[in-house]
């Protein structure tokens, strides 16, 4: 009888453990489905936006049209973005993240300061050259929108941090003055990049190639002025 009672207790414990495991599984499964559904909807939204922006132009594309092509309710779109301008971030962010992942952090061994900066900034010239019309709107958001979202600010800070690291490396090598704060040197170098991007994408005064050449020349002069 004792053995029987022990066996029954074991069975009950096993069943309880099974129920607990099942509950854990059933609790996790909906979360997984929700995450997959969210990714699926976001993918449909970004694909629809990308297609329509290219077919109709950014200004002409409406949120309703994006939702219709993505097969979602209009209200669903605004669970992901505040407005269609934030959709640009969803399109450009993966390109920027891949560029950052491929780029070295700081100067490479033996690399000159200007070359390191051109290498960094050139990656973004190449990204924007894929679709200059969309890039124009994106750059305006990046440089001039005062109420940027957290992710847009994160991209701006990452670019600034990369330039700051290059500046730190150059200062350590004796290529830049150390009596000028590093943050001011970083800001000055970024200002040249912003200006030439605007001359290319914003006003159309310069072609891409002219902007790239102008940026290099400006960086050379700036670095000469900041040399010890």
b/e per residue, 11-42, with b = 16+ CB within 10 A? eeeeeeeeeeeeeeeeeeeeeeeeeeeeeebe
Superfamily name and number for 2-77: Homeodomain-like (1.10.10.60)
- Residues 179-194: tens digit of each pLDDT: 999 999 999 999 999 9
- The alpha carbon of 145 is separated from its chain's Cα centroid by a whole number of angstroms, namely 16
Joined tokens for residue 168: 């730190």
> Is the pLDDT confidence value at 18 over 70?
no
* For residues 69-88, average pLDDT: 87
**If one looks up domain 84-226 in CATH, what number appears?**
1.10.357.10
Give me the phi and psi of 212, to 5 degrees please.
-65, -40
The pLDDT assigned to 219 comes to 98
The pLDDT assigned to 153 comes to 82
- Residues 89-128: tens digit of each pLDDT: 888 888 999 999 999 999 999 999 999 999 999 999 999 9
What are the residue ranges spanned by the domains of the chain?
2-77, 84-226
DSSP class per residue in 190-224: HHHHHHHHIIIIIS-SS-HHHHHHHHHHHHHHHHH
Does this model's pTM top 0.85? no
The pLDDT assigned to 81 comes to 85
């Amino acid at each position: 009888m004792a053995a029987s009672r022990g066996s029954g207790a074991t069975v009950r414990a096993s069943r309880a453990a099974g129920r607990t495991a099942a509950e854990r599984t059933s609790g996790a499964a909906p979360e997984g489905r929700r995450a997959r559904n969210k990714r699926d909807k976001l993918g449909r939204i970004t694909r629809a936006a990308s297609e329509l922006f290219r077919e109709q132009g950014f200004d002409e594309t409406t949120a309703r049209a994006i939702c219709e092509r993505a097969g979602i309710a209009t209200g669903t779109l605004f669970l992901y973005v505040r407005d269609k301008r934030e959709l640009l971030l969803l399109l450009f962010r993966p390109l920027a993240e891949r560029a950052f992942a491929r780029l070295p952090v700081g100067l490479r061994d033996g690399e000159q300061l200007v070359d390191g900066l051109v290498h960094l900034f050139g990656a973004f010239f190449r990204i924007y050259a894929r679709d200059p019309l969309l890039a124009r709107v994106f750059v305006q958001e990046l440089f001039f929108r005062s109420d940027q979202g957290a992710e847009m600010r994160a991209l701006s800070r990452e670019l600034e941090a990369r330039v700051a690291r290059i500046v730190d490396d150059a200062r350590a090598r004796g290529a830049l003055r150390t009596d000028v704060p590093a943050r001011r040197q970083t800001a000055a170098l970024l200002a040249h990049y912003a200006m030439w991007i605007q001359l290319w994408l914003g006003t159309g005064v310069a072609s891409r190639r002219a902007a790239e050449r102008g940026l290099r020349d400006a960086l050379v002069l700036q670095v000469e002025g900041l040399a010890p």
